[in-house]
Amino acid sequence: MIEIKRITAKADIKKFVKFQQELYQGNDYYVPPIVNDEMSNFDPEKNQVFKNADCWLFLAYRGKEIVGRIAAIINYVEVKEQHKSKMRFGWLDMIDDIEVTKALLNEVHRIGKEKELEYVEGPVGFSNMDKAGLLIKGYEELSTMITWYNAPYYKEHLEQLGYEKAAEWVEFKFQPPNPIPEKINKFADIIGRRYKLKTLQFKSTKEILPYVDDMFDLLNKTYSKLVTFVPIQQYQIDLYKEKYLPFINPDFLELVVDDNGKLIGFAITMPSFSKALQKAKGKLFPFGFLHLLKAKKKNNRAAFYLIGIDPEYQGKGVTAMMFRNVTQNFIDYGITLCETNPELEDNLAVQASWKNYDPILHKRRRTYRKDIS
């Protein structure tokens, strides 16, 4: 018999977070998050997203054994301001038993019906800045710090339960060219002269801080027309500054400004922390942080984390200016493999950025939806 329990106590939330690590123990491709960081996601005192969101956490039990988990989420910016009558679900993990999956999702539907919402969609986080999408291709590819990993049976369960595709993302990997092709150098120079643009480079994270708010404003402009878009709130910007800025190597950040100093494009890349997080096993102390520091300084893998381009400059070759410098940094640091962040499959403008790198589409992830009846 499967019993679903709503949890609120800190000890139970820790069980919620650690269940995924226990489920994928020994899996070579799963990358565990830092447990305390994950727990902070569900703490209203630490995560200000709760100013505009509600969240219910559930654990599935069979006897005394935990066999699944799920978060039910309502983002009120999305519901009230964007008029999307959506009940979200995320942090879905379970054993290979469709009855467990069904019982967990039934709780999400129950809340959605109580709140008079029209449909359920997931897996997603609180907003479009969180992890999203069920892995449907690339089960034998190393996961990343900014994505969820799951086994193939998740997809089978959801589809058997009548869930249909909502949105889909693609991810690419490629080898940075070495040396930089002369045509890319020439093209980047032409674009810079034509539009009177220049790139900015930094020596410390302190130098980056004055530009962070502008970067998030640009993200809102860049992705405002995409189907999954939810405006980024200032408190989220403050959270991501605290959460991710320490991971950024200033050499891996490229900004493009016009002749008035206005930000019109940026690219954030990071050394891959996947293997370091596997070694840390969800803990920063006593030694986990050492693995992360080592990965930040010495690594042969990197990942594109965020890219933003002012809509007025999209399709005009601005990415060539950023990627030339990024590629040179990859060469200098010995990066031989690069991975893109998830991109919506219909976001062809961003995908065109990789065309000169012979990219391989190695992962797909998808959200599923179902009407609330």
Which of these CATH numbers, 3.40.630.30, 3.30.300.30, 3.40.1190.20, 3.30.465.10, describes 176-357?
3.40.630.30
Q: What is the pLDDT of residue 279?
A: 95
CA gap 198, 76 in Å, rounded: 39
Out of 3.40.190.10, 3.40.50.620, 3.90.650.10, 3.40.630.30, the CATH code matching 2-170 is 3.40.630.30
Tell me the pTM. Answer: 0.90
Query: What is the predicted pLDDT for the residue at 281?
Result: 94
Beta bridge partners, 361, equal 172
Q: Are 311 and 222 in contact (CB under 8 A)?
A: yes
- For residue 126, count other CB atoms closer than 10 A to its CB: 25
Mean pLDDT for each 10-residue chunk of the chain (373 residues)? Answer: 97 98 97 95 91 96 98 95 95 98 98 98 90 97 95 98 97 92 90 94 85 85 68 73 75 91 90 94 88 88 87 87 88 92 84 83 98 95
Q: Where are the domains of the chain?
A: 2-170, 176-357
Predicted confidence at residue 231, as pLDDT, reads 72
Q: Does the fold of domain 176-357 match that of domain 2-170?
A: yes
Q: CA separation (Å) from 60 to 40, 105, 177?
A: 21, 11, 48
Cα 158 to chain centroid distance, Å, stands at 21
Position 157, amino acid: H
> Which residues neighbour 312 within 8 Å (Cβ) at sequence distance 6 or greater?
264
Could you list the beta-strand ranges (E) of 274-359.
Answer: 301-309, 337-339, 343-344
The sign of the CA dihedral 91, 97, 98, 103 is: negative
